[in-house]
Chains A and B, each alone.
Chain A
Amino acid sequence: MASVTLEGVKKIYDNKVVAVQEFNLEIKDKEFVVFVGPSGCGKSTTLRMIAGLEDISEGTLKIGDRVVNDVEPKDRDIAMVFQNYALYPHISVYENMAFSLRIRKMDNEEIHRRVCQAAEILGITQYLARKPKALSGGQRQRVAIGRAIVREPAVFLMDEPLSNLDAKLRNQMRAEIILLRKRIDTTFIYVTHDQTEAMTLGDRIVIMKDGFIQQVGTPQEVFDTPRNLFVAGFIGSPQMNFLKAKLVRTGDKYAVELLGTSVALEDAKCKKLLEKNVQTKEVIMGVRPEHTVVRFDGSDNAIESTISVNEMMGSELHLHVNTIAGDRVILRLPTIDLTDEQRAQLSYGNKLYFSFASKVVHLFDPETEESLLF
């Protein structure tokens, strides 16, 4: 049980490539933190620095109160689950799980107790005598986790542990990790490129891009108030729609104008904008598909568009439409209340109208790509 603190951590490889920089983060004891970002963003490198598998070029890393920059991985009191499981193929599942304990010359009975306990938690007791080769992907994943559990580490590191599983198994294992976390209450650091995993698992999410932290916050925070264009686009599925718009200031009031409609912003937003003293300017407006309202007729303030793709998801429809200005927008439409006529109207080339409430609008500066509302 320990906190993890990173201060100004930087990683430069031998070939002068900077993988991670200005990494400041304090992970509290027993917190579940997820590093998320596209591949090559430095999230795995950061994790490996915490594990001690990569040297830290600059900055300090503390686990608990101890600076561990130059401490060997084995002395950091951590355990790690690898993407490819890293199971030793020549020994049984039992011995795989007992490996680190045996290295530490732990008493045989204690090893047995811990291994059995971990196996029970993960439901792999009946496979203990097998070799890893004789297990399925999900079972191997469990063994890899089990190997980490028996260590009873202060910090639990997981490097894309689910990315080698198929979609169904991944959902199942995700749920199990949530359960697991409840049973072994310790600090978790979890790396993934999948925003769904990040949202569902993390107490806090660290979104990274090109070696920099973009935003740190709870899932709700990063979803509701993305700090910049990247975070806004990365979190949420389907992706947030971005439209060119004009922010108009009239006194202390603001409104967004686009495609002939104008939406007045509510007070909270106006206050934020006022604080920054934003004048009338071109902006990028973001609206999540789930926040749009589809209309079949062009009433006032609705934006006209043409349907290009109609994706049937079962409970809802994802409609890809083009506005007159050429912006591509995704709309979400629940199927449950649709009439047959409406369904018929939702085919390629037909006109469709949509609108949105001012509450759900995100505004970004086109130059800096920073959020104007943060």
Chain B
Amino acid sequence: MNDLDFLRLSKPQKLLHKLKTAILGIPGKLLGSLKGLVMWFVNLFKGIGHFLADLVMTYVRGDWKTKISYTVMGFGSMARGQWLRGVMFFVFQTLFNMYLFMPILKISESREPLCGLNVVTLLANLGTVETAKKGRVTVYGDNSFLILLYGVLTLFLIVAFLYTWYVNVKQNKISEQILKSGKKLKTAKDDMASMLDSQFHKTLLAIPTAGVTMFTILPIIFMILVAFTNYDNQHQPPQKLFTWVGFENFQTLLSAESNDLGVDITDKGNGTVTLTITAKDGDIITVDTTDVAAAQAADALAVDSSAEFSFETIGTNAETGKDNYRLTFTGDAGEPVTLEATSWLYVSTPSFSHTFKQVLLWTLIWAFFATFLNYFLGMLVAIMINKKGIKFKKMWRTILVMTIAIPQFISLLYVSKMFAADGLINGMLMNWGWITEPLPFWTNANWARVTIIGINVWIGIPYLMLIATGILMNIPADLYESARIDGANAFQTYMKITLPYMLFVTGPYLLTSFTGNINNFNVIFLLSGGKPLGMDLAGNAGNTDLLITWLYKMTVTDSNYKLAAVMGILVFVVCAVINLVVYNFIPSVKNEEDFQ
């Protein structure tokens, strides 16, 4: 199908065709990326090969100054008169060696300080010495947290050292070539001058890069590693060690909910057994029964995945005043089993994986509304204010912008209180006699969700209004005139010109805004704090919690660092997937730069 044939199709046909080609293209694309991957690895190995060969050849062909530089960094540079570079290399090497081999890192009360190299070896199991009591004194054992932290830091330093060492070797090679060709080497003064000229980018980027490495990259790598440990409130250094557990935490959050009925029997003696039934929704029911044989039969029956159970109340025990129950187990593995129980204990234990799904769903719904509702309403407001014939444009804008100017912790906290059960809104409505009970703005899950989205509109519209105003002004007037001559009415003009233009120009913004809203901590935290809490949600999660606020709760309230770390990784994955999909399937985002 050529371009022209495609163009003549009607809209649904076009969509269908695009979809078809996209789906048909998947195998080819996959093959392509597979090929790409293979080539990448091939090139990588080739590159490594070249790199090593280059190192060896530099050594073999180099003069004695170069050769010594392989072990004493900066020697070559100093010997060739570039003392500034040489000294810097040398100092770096010395400091690094000191860090690596001098015992300066205190990771345990019961151990002497360790050197950097030792800490790296401890990374294998994050400490071995447990906290112990010597008489009345508690002697803390290894601090797994510090081991991991120092370990990662050391690995960073080792990578940095290797890179610097490589630069040092390369310097020698380059210097030799320059000298051979009869030119002069750069002096220290030249080096200093180049920092403000040809090497100015390095000067400008040095501090920001160091800051980001130390306070963003290092911590993120640390937390990614934590996701593979059992670091939580049960394993909190320095009292307790924590260690590697593999993908266990990911399973906790992501595993499918159990489909099996679980039955456990514990003998209480005097002819009674306790039956612990794990229901399919994760709830746990504990019953006592004297019918041991039936209990065992139920246990046997529960092996089969199709097993189910039901119950009914059968009168009250005259002695204890409690209800008696009859439980019926059915399954493919045998005949149905009926047993009578004298006690009943119901515990709801929502699973993390269930909670994660709930919270993720709400996070996506929230991000969708927070982005697009604000976007369209903001654009609408901008169009209204900018309409010809509307006066006091500046005043309207200034009033709306108030919500941006005033710090959110004031405005949102106050508004949150306004909507509380004893707050202004409910109070006034009750005074006027419109309602008798307070409206459950923060206590009912769905009310809370709607209220949050509504208040977010209050916060978000002005921002979008400003952006939309700027872009609307930039739409060339002749586009509208042309459309007018072509016969488009106001609505058509909006749908066919204003809106596509806006979407086109703000495509990338919408994307960042969407991922930004996934991580929009302030609004949720200050308004509802994630409440109301849900019976069916694990880990203190509330019905309005986003992944990010839940992560915050896990870190601050529950000290459940391992799951917080997993969640952080999952948030990253969600954002990355959305970004990848949008970049690959929506061309306007890619072509945005051409459009300007």
Please give the residue numbers on chain A whose beta carbons come within 8 Å of chain B beta carbons, in ascending order.
Answer: 51-53, 72-75, 78-80, 82-84, 86, 88-92, 94-95, 99-100, 103-104, 108-109, 111-112, 115-116, 125, 128-129, 131, 133-134, 147, 151
Q: Can you name 23 A-B pairs with beta carbons within 8 Å?
A: A51-B485, A52-B484, A80-B481, A80-B482, A80-B485, A82-B481, A82-B482, A86-B476, A88-B479, A88-B496, A89-B595, A90-B501, A90-B588, A92-B7, A94-B7, A100-B485, A100-B486, A103-B492, A104-B487, A109-B8, A129-B3, A129-B4, A151-B486
Cα–Cα, bound, A82→B594 (Å): 22
Q: What residues of chain A lie closer than 8 Å to B479, measured between beta carbons?
A: 86, 88
The reply to whether B492 and A133 form a contact with Cβ atoms under 8 Å apart is: no
Q: Contacts A83-B478, A129-B3 known; list 13 others, CB within 8 Å.
A: A53-B485, A73-B487, A80-B481, A80-B485, A86-B481, A88-B500, A88-B501, A99-B483, A103-B492, A109-B8, A131-B594, A133-B591, A151-B486
Q: What residues of chain B lie closer than 8 Å to A92, measured between beta carbons?
A: 7
The reply to whether B486 and A74 form a contact with Cβ atoms under 8 Å apart is: yes
The reply to whether A133 and B595 form a contact with Cβ atoms under 8 Å apart is: yes
| Minimum CB–CB distance for A166 against chain B, Å | 21
Contacts A84-B478, A86-B476, A90-B504 given; does A73 touch B484 at CB 8 Å: yes
Contacts A84-B476, A89-B504, A103-B492 given; does A129 touch B6 at CB 8 Å: yes
Cα–Cα, bound, A87→B233 (Å): 63
Cα–Cα, bound, A152→B484 (Å): 16
Nearest B residue (CB) for A157: B485
Q: What residues of chain A lie closer than 8 Å to B504, measured between beta carbons?
A: 89-90
The reply to whether B476 and A103 form a contact with Cβ atoms under 8 Å apart is: no
- Interfacial residues of chain B within 447-496, with CB under 8 A of chain A in the complex: 476, 478-479, 481-488, 492, 496
Nearest A residue (CB) for B10: A108
The reply to whether A129 and B7 form a contact with Cβ atoms under 8 Å apart is: yes
| Minimum CB–CB distance for B480 against chain A, Å | 9
The majority secondary structure among interface residues of chain B is helix
B327 within 8 A of A: no
Nearest A residue (CB) for B482: A86
Cα–Cα, bound, A116→B10 (Å): 16
B497 within 8 A of A: yes
Q: What residues of chain A lie closer than 8 Å to B486, measured between beta carbons?
A: 74, 99-100, 103, 147, 151
Cα–Cα, bound, A95→B595 (Å): 17
The reply to whether A73 and B485 form a contact with Cβ atoms under 8 Å apart is: yes
Contacts A84-B478, A90-B504 given; does A128 touch B594 at CB 8 Å: no
Q: What residues of chain B lie closer than 8 Å to A103, measured between beta carbons?
A: 486-488, 492, 496
Interface membership of chain B positions 572-596, coded 1 if the CB is closer than 8 angstroms to chain A and 0 otherwise: 0000000000000000100100110
The reply to whether A128 and B485 form a contact with Cβ atoms under 8 Å apart is: no
Nearest B residue (CB) for A130: B3
Please name the 7 residue pairs, one residue from A and one from B, whose CB atoms are nearest each other, closest first.
Answer: A74-B487, A100-B486, A129-B3, A86-B478, A86-B482, A112-B8, A94-B7
Contacts A86-B476, A90-B500 given; does A100 touch B487 at CB 8 Å: yes
| Minimum CB–CB distance for B76 against chain A, Å | 53
| Minimum CB–CB distance for B523 against chain A, Å | 32
Cα–Cα, bound, A74→B482 (Å): 10
| Minimum CB–CB distance for B497 against chain A, Å | 6
| Minimum CB–CB distance for A143 against chain B, Å | 12
- Interfacial residues of chain B within 1-28, with CB under 8 A of chain A in the complex: 3-4, 6-8, 10
The reply to whether B500 and A91 form a contact with Cβ atoms under 8 Å apart is: yes
| Minimum CB–CB distance for A73 against chain B, Å | 5
The reply to whether A133 and B594 form a contact with Cβ atoms under 8 Å apart is: yes
The reply to whether B4 and A89 form a contact with Cβ atoms under 8 Å apart is: no
Cα–Cα, bound, A91→B501 (Å): 10
Q: What residues of chain A lie closer than 8 Å to B10, measured between beta carbons?
A: 108
Q: What residues of chain A lie closer than 8 Å to B3, measured between beta carbons?
A: 128-129
Cα–Cα, bound, A90→B3 (Å): 17
Nearest B residue (CB) for A82: B478
| Minimum CB–CB distance for B491 against chain A, Å | 11
Nearest A residue (CB) for B503: A90
Cα–Cα, bound, A111→B486 (Å): 14
Nearest B residue (CB) for A109: B8
Nearest B residue (CB) for A51: B485
Cα–Cα, bound, A79→B485 (Å): 7
| Minimum CB–CB distance for A258 against chain B, Å | 50
Cα–Cα, bound, A334→B488 (Å): 56
| Minimum CB–CB distance for B589 against chain A, Å | 13
| Minimum CB–CB distance for A20 against chain B, Å | 18
Cα–Cα, bound, A131→B590 (Å): 14
Nearest A residue (CB) for B486: A100
Nearest B residue (CB) for A91: B500
Cα–Cα, bound, A79→B10 (Å): 25
| Residue among A100, A116, A125 facing the most chain B CB atoms (10 A cut-off) | A100
Q: What residues of chain B lie closer than 8 Å to A90, measured between beta carbons?
A: 500-501, 503-504, 588, 595
Nearest A residue (CB) for B594: A133
Cα–Cα, bound, A111→B500 (Å): 22
| Minimum CB–CB distance for B351 against chain A, Å | 47
Cα–Cα, bound, A175→B503 (Å): 39
| Minimum CB–CB distance for B563 against chain A, Å | 44
Nearest B residue (CB) for A153: B485
Q: What residues of chain A lie closer than 8 Å to B483, measured between beta carbons?
A: 99
| Minimum CB–CB distance for A226 against chain B, Å | 34
Nearest A residue (CB) for B487: A74
Cα–Cα, bound, A89→B591 (Å): 11
| Minimum CB–CB distance for A242 against chain B, Å | 39
The reply to whether B476 and A128 form a contact with Cβ atoms under 8 Å apart is: no
| Minimum CB–CB distance for B493 against chain A, Å | 10
| Residue among A52, A53, A92, A116 facing the most chain B CB atoms (10 A cut-off) | A53
The one of A51, A53, A89, A116 that contacts B501, using a Cβ cutoff of 8 Å: A89
The reply to whether B484 and A74 form a contact with Cβ atoms under 8 Å apart is: yes
Nearest B residue (CB) for A111: B8
Nearest A residue (CB) for B493: A103
The one of B485, B497, B595 that contacts A74, using a Cβ cutoff of 8 Å: B485
Cα–Cα, bound, A222→B124 (Å): 97
Interface membership of chain B positions 335-360, coded 1 if the CB is closer than 8 angstroms to chain A and 0 otherwise: 00000000000000000000000000
Q: What residues of chain A lie closer than 8 Å to B487, measured between beta carbons?
A: 73-75, 100, 103-104
Cα–Cα, bound, A53→B7 (Å): 31
| Minimum CB–CB distance for B559 against chain A, Å | 51
